Amino acid sequence: MERTGRVVAMPEPNSMSIIASKYRKFGDSPELRHLARDVIRCECRPYPTMQPPPLGYFLKIIAPGANILLLMMMRHVTC
């Protein structure tokens, strides 16, 4: 993917850790899931100046964000 020059990579966005801390503090809620979805959409927004357009986006999510977001996704899928 790196060789193509068409993948946007963002290492360790703090927004995921903030969402994870809110999840631990307040628990699961539709509002928190909506926030997590919107944050990921914002992080992976299109870059109109990047030509040709990116083939994909890569977010390197570290703990605690990785663990909590995985749990949120699993709950969402099983509900």
Inform me whether the pLDDT recorded for 33 exceeds 70.
Answer: yes
**Structural domain range at position 50:** 2-78
Smallest CA-to-CA distance from 58 within 4, 17, 11, 15 is with 11
- Tell me if 36 sits within 8 A of 20, measured CB to CB: no
- Quote the CA–CA distance of 67 and 62 in Å, as a whole number: 8
Number of separate domains in the chain: 1
pLDDT of res. 27:
85
Check residue 1 and give its pLDDT. Answer: 58
Comparing C-alpha atoms, which of 23, 7, 25 is closest to residue 70? 23
CA 18 to CA 22: how far, in whole Å? Answer: 6
72 confidence band (pLDDT: 50, 70, 90): low
